[in-house]
Structures are given as C-alpha cells and as structure tokens.
Chains A and B, each alone.
Chain A
C-alpha cells in the first residue's frame, strides 16, 4: 500500500536497492577476484616470495603504463573468443571445455595461408575463415557424440583436446615447419597479418574483431530465434522440449558457434601478435588460452559485455605476470593459481550471503572458545 503512494523517499530507496541488486553479480566477481588473489598471496608467502611486491609489480606492469595497458589488452583478445566458446555452451546448459583443442587447430589452420599469395586484406580474411572452419570442425565431434551417443561433453571435449594437441604437435614439426628454423612454423605473411594498432606494442587491430565477435554473439543470443532457443534449452531443458525446441539442433549450433570463436582465438594469436606471427614446437604461446577463457567467462557471468570487462582483467594478469616475473622475480605461474581459485570461488552461488554466514560461524566458535577458557580459568581458581 505504502509503496503505491510512491513518496519520493521510497522511490529513491527502491532505486538504490535496484542498483545494488543489479551490481550484485559484479560485486560477486570482484569478491572472487579478491579471494583468488588472497590465496595466491598466502601461497607466495609460504614459498618465500613477497606478495605485496609481486602484486605491485603485476599491477604496475599491467595497467601502470601505456605499454602495459596495450599489452594487457592484447593478452585479453584471444581470451574474449575462448570465453565466448564456454559462455555460449553454458547458456545452452553445457560445459564445453574443448576450446583449448579448437584454438590449437584454429591457429594451425591460420598458418596454412603462408603457403600461398593473395592480396592484403583478402589474405587475412581467408586465414580467418580457415581458422573458423577448423575450430568449428573440431567442435562437431563432441557435439555429435553427445547428440547421438549421449557422451558427456566434459569427457569428450577433454579427449579431443589431447588428440588436437598431439595432432598439432605433428603438424608443427612436419607440415607447417619453417625450412630454415626447425623449432617454429612458417610465419604468417605480412599481407595476412592484423596491422599493429599501437606502435611498439603487440596490440593489433584484432581487438576490434574480438569486440565485434562479442557483440555479434550478444545479438544472436538475445535478439534471434536461435539464441532464444539456446537460452531456453539452458534454463529449462524439459520446458524447452515441450515448447517444441529441437534440443539436438541447439546442442550442435552452440558447439559450432563456440568452435568458430575458439578458431578465431587461435587465428588472433598467430595473425595478430607481434613479433613472430608463428607457432613454436610445444605451443608455448597458445597453451591454456582455452582454459583461461573459461575463467574469463565465469567472472564475466557468461555475458558478452561482462566477458569484455573480465578479459581486460585476465589479460592484465597475464601481461602483468611477466613483469612480476622480471621485476619481483616471482614465477608467473602464480597467476594460474589465482585464476583457479577465482573459478572455484565463482562456483559458489550467492557468494555475498555466504560470507556473513561464515562470519556468524566464526563468532560462534570464538564465543565457545572464550567460554571454555573461562571454565578452565574458574576451575583452576577452584582447584588450588
């Protein structure tokens, strides 16, 4: 009743409340990031590193200079694509952890443009198309196994990741190899490279492709029938089936869309990251792009806009991890520990409510300990 009167005060309160609930997911992501960094700090302390110095070097390296900011964005570019791979399938109710292998194949497919000549621009587009086809093709396997045989996508995508890894190991040293340098593949020719956006950094125009891809996926998911069906299948599969949605088609489509994204991630690394524009044996530049993307997707709440923001954060962690390694001599592997803890924390629903509960439990335990102490104290007073 009173709310209907709509006094200016209550309207203001409601407005504040709505803003706070709107910010809720962002606050939870922030809290998870803090928990992750705290655990990382504890581990550094235990193993004899100075966490303050390390994090200071990390953030100064990531965001403290124009060069750092550019390279943070550059590291974020492939993560946007792989995060979309995970997020699309999450929206459809599946856990696609196959981005890793699809990135490998996308990068290998993009390298094949080094075998022929085309005019600049067209050459780049052909490379991107190759990468998209390779990524999508590698994602069809797990999708078909799920649709036809009911194989859980977590198991099948991981197996496809390992097979892709060995396949690309083979391709790198036997097919795509640079005849003059056996440890790397042929380099992408200049006509098929993304132009550098900020000179003397590794940030290239591939960042615009990443933003465009995120916006396209946003449009597909929220403004097309296909996207509606994907989201409906994810929210309530039974209801979606009764509503006439073909679940097999949504599974295939979301896997293929994700595969296209992962393929582009591979292409954006080899075609858009100076200075080598090639793959090396052992795939050091490419490994873990798919797995880090899952963390980006979770912190970004599986939403394209959230993912863009989260990619800047994780790109910063990766770029800053290198400066941390150099200036605070702390191994950059710490960053992956932090990432893992962030993901674990993000698995807890209503994170913000659990913290007061833990605090409540702690207060109870402390009160119990105090009571025990008092009891013991009074006993020891009585006994002598």
Chain B
C-alpha cells in the first residue's frame, strides 16, 4: 500500500466521519438535557432530501440551510410532544423514522425519478482539491464543533443548566430553570446539527439522494453517543473509527484479491463494528438520571 492509497482512505474516512460526528454531538447536547431522540435516522434522511431541493433552487449553501431548517422543524415537533405534552420519546422517534421513509420515497417520485435523484453540478458544495482527492469544507466545521460543544457543556453557565435539567429536573425547576424550554432548545439544536449532517450527505459528499441514503447512520450516531458517554471529544473519535471502517469496507470491495468475498458481507462491516463497539463500551458509561423520561411537575 503506498502513500496515495493511504491518502485516499483517509479522505473517505473523513467524509464518512462528518455525518456521524455532527449527529452524535447534537444528540449529546439533547441527551444531556434529558431527551433521547431515536428519530435522528429520519431527520438525516429527510434533510438529505430537502437539502437537494434547496441546492437545486439556490445553490449548495441554501441546500445546507434548508437541511438545517428541516432538522429544526422535525425536532421541534419531537420536542414539543416530549416536553409539554409528556409524550413517549421512543414512539415519537419510531414515527419520525417511518414518516421519513414515506416522505422521501414520495418526494423522489414527485421529482420524477423514483429511487435516485442527482444534485446538479452547480448545486454541489465546492470542494478543496488535494493530491489524493477532493475534500469537503464541512469536514473542518466538523472538526471544530465537538470542541465548541465540549467547552459549552463544561465551561459555561448554560452548559451547567443543561446538565441540571437532565440530571435532576425537579431541582432545576426549583432553581427557576424552565425545564421544558431548555429541553426543547437543546433537542432543536441537536436536530439542526443532524439536519446539516443530512444535507451534507447529499449536497456535499455523495452528490445525490436515494430512498435509503441515511443507511442506518442515525442509529450509528446513537451508538457513538453511547460509546462517548456524552463526551463530544470522544464522539469525534468514535465517528472517526466508524468512518475508518466504512472506508475500509469500500477499499476491500475494490481490492482485486477480495473478489472472492461477496459484497454483502463487506457491506455488513459498519453494522457489525457498531455492535462490537457498543457492547464493549457499556458498563463504564453513566447517563443523566432522567434521560428518556418526561418531566412532570408534582
């Protein structure tokens, strides 16, 4: 293996890392405040689609913004149901995932191409040229976001308020914190990051949208959150590891020596790795006490 091969594996790894890292950091913010959003997969899928609509209408930046807006709207609905209306977070998340499957499949038909829709070249985000391939600028955003989130959670007053609402909503309520509002804002912020991640997949990375473009990345992000124990810096590391395995899977598929291995087994690699990582990580991780439970004032 020579240097250019390593370079191209690294570039694919970085690209595959972005959506998982952004989604996981957003979910860390939300889970710190006490909401568990398993609808991330649906947010990624929907915003990948709406991002393409935005990119076609007004260019790549508009596409990314539309994706973020989509994430915000969906997670706003999620968080209103699960804060003020005391809903069931798991069921809401499952519903969002089902909705996304139908919405995107329907939308692709409306666009006149069931199953697959390309982003026009003028709608793709401009990439940075390197000797081994093109590099999306979102990668640099992704490398900064976990550090900002880490600083925010551990060094600011707002971060402490977030932790209080997740750890002990009763105490936070007594201290004058509006628990439901904090949770709503945190989850919506998480949704915006997931929306950016979704739009990135279609507008910047792959350059097209399909019915299953999210391919379980929302759930892999949830696994990354578990692995990280709500530490954004570890989430960056986890996302890098998942990205590495995704790019190794792509690399193996193109190896002449690996023609013997059916592609289906290579395609399983990211999911098997996720299971291994998650089952190895649990035990040392501690989550907020009120995670997943609605706050009901007595």
Listed in ascending order, the chain A residues whose CB lies under 8 Å from chain B are 43, 47-48, 95, 97, 145, 149-152, 154-156, 158-160, 162-163, 166-167, 169-170, 174, 288, 291, 294-295, 298, 331, 333-349, 354
Contacts and interface: CB of A to CB of B under 8 A. Distances in A.
Given A159-B275, A333-B109, A340-B95, A291 B101 contact: yes
Nearest to B86: A349
A335 B106 CA distance: 9
Given A167-B264, A348-B81, A151 B272 contact: no
B99 A163 contact: no
A241 to B, nearest CB: 18
B222 A163 contact: no
Contact of B91 (A145, A160, A343): A343
A145 B281 CA distance: 12
Question: What 5 A-B pairs are tightest by C-beta distance, nearest first?
Answer: A340-B99, A336-B102, A343-B95, A344-B95, A340-B98
Contacts of A145: 275, 278-279
B98 A149 contact: no
Main secondary structure of the interface of A (DSSP, over half): helix
A342 B95 CA distance: 7
B96 A298 contact: no
A339 B91 CA distance: 12
A110 B77 CA distance: 42
Nearest to A291: B98
Interface residues of B, number: 49
A174 B91 contact: no
Contacts of B91: 298, 343-344, 346-347
B102 A347 contact: no
B102 A339 contact: yes
B94 A97 contact: yes
Contacts of B85: 348-349, 354
Contacts of A158: 41, 216, 219
B241 to A, nearest CB: 15
B264 A340 contact: no
25 contacts: A154-B38, A154-B222, A155-B223, A156-B279, A162-B268, A169-B264, A288-B101, A291-B98, A291-B101, A294-B98, A331-B110, A333-B102, A333-B109, A334-B106, A336-B98, A336-B101, A340-B98, A340-B103, A343-B91, A344-B95, A344-B96, A345-B95, A347-B87, A347-B88, A347-B89
A212 to B, nearest CB: 27
Nearest to B78: A344
A344 B99 contact: yes
